[in-house]
Chains A and B, each alone.
Chain A
Amino acid sequence: MAVITYREAVGRALREALQDERVFMMGEDIGRYGGAYAVTRGLLDEFGPERIRETPIAESGFTGAGAGAAMAGMRPIVELMTINFSLLAMDQIINHAAKVRYMSGGQLSCPLIVRTVTGGGASVGATHSQSLEGWFAAVPGIRVAVPSTPHDVLGLFRAAMLQEDPVMFVEHTLLYSTRGEVEDEPYVIPFGRADIKRSGTDITIAAYSRMAVVAMRAAEQLESRGISAEVVDLRTLSPLDSETVVESVRKTGHAVVVEETWYTGGFGATVVGLIQERAFDYLNAPVGRVAGEEVPTPYSRYLEQASIPDEARVIQAVEAALGR
């Protein structure tokens, strides 16, 4: 057991993956510069420029090159510097990588991993602070992983390397320096297995990525108020582990779903939908939802903080759901 940062966990996962000679990386400034979030530092020296390929600022071009190489039998890992830039590669991800297996009647596959960074809170303004992972989860043919801890980063990345389909591996900008324990033996966290990060009896809080961390902090404070909250970290949005969520709600009888992105069209609505479909008779109150404020993320510090869900808002929603 070792304690490492989320950033180190990604780096370790990449080094492991690169042991397979079919694996290579592409992305902007992932070489000399070491990556915008310093995740790929050192990889160029270790693996050389043929396999750690710095690209021009051409997201569609190099993401599509990754998709093509994957279709031709390689296992490329593409880094999109932030999920906001994925919008420039949307055609390749949605229209090509996600479709090719189905449209070719199963002849081709596209085992492409796209690593990218989601979330706000870094004072980088509206174009650099979005949480768009739910959009990808809405498209059949893609898998979406959203780890919240170093442990989950390692286990989920190993699982991503075993997929035969495109994977959006979505890291959170504010989690890179967080620390956590990881086991020494090479464990794998299969996709589609949510994690009960904390057991509780009064209410289920379902969340993912950084909001799972926020939910954990809220749950600690709720405990001191005599409320036992169970935190379910979804870990992958596609496939979604509906079973674990539903089982938890059936046990607690209450639920709040937390996410960082906007309320309208947020992935949380899908989670709420499946709870009402499959656990309605167990619910003692309407399911609460906590989501980002429906504004472009503002730059200024306090305004930005006001736009992103925090522990206080989660606690408020929990207390409302419990009628306190």
Chain B
Amino acid sequence: MGEVIVITSGKGGVGKTTTTANIGTGLALEGKSVVLLDADIGLRNLDVVMGLENRIVYDLVDVVEKTCRLKQGLIKDKRFPNLFLMPAAQTKDKSAVTPEQMMELTKNLAEEFEYVLVDSPAGIEQGFKNAIAGASRSIVVTTPEVSAVRDADRIIGLLEANDLKNPQLLINRIKLEMVKRGDMMNIDDIVDILAIDLLGVVPDDEQIVISTNRGEPAIVDDRSLAGQAYRNIVKRILGDNIPFMSLDTDEGLITKIARVFGFVRK
């Protein structure tokens, strides 16, 4: 049986879909069999971020309603050895699927794949309930902003109330320069407030925009800082003990890397 991991946040626009795409691709690059499940019915985007939008025939709702077989709802990503996507339906709404149906779907997928990554929609309504229904592990994505951290806190409460204990935190779009001058909450501030385990920190990186433009996850790009952060996160998910990049010290590793690649001015 594979592991079902839900990627969620509460607030929209913090990088759930980008995170799902990168972690999924990273796990596939590590030799795991992976399926990405877009649970954002009506507002699908994971297909676009992955650059697979032109290959959609069937979607999640078709599979759940048994219009097609499970395998027909999967798109194989030919660039990676064992990576598949099940897109969301674009013309239906959240009520097209029930949590029970999602539970069955993720269970069936977990029989075929080592990792089932569920990209959750924003919010705490039906779509969120569907996304977490079959998950046994959860990743909460936030950015270092008051609104995003507040929503993350609410989501953590809801995950724990739904028996998804020990959600892990991914802090996205940290701006090194702003943290340094005290104008952005740092990792310790956020971990201190949310009081859950930290899975990783992804620096703000223009490369993400470029990757999304091209439909190629940044994790495959060696020059991308965010890509490096995602590679570390993938290793942590697989159980490796990878130290966190230091962002606070003047000459932290990431600052050095940033300097090498010209992201930080001297």
- Do A and B originate from a single complex? no
Chain B residues packing against A (C-beta within 8 Å): none
Chain A residues packing against B (C-beta within 8 Å): none
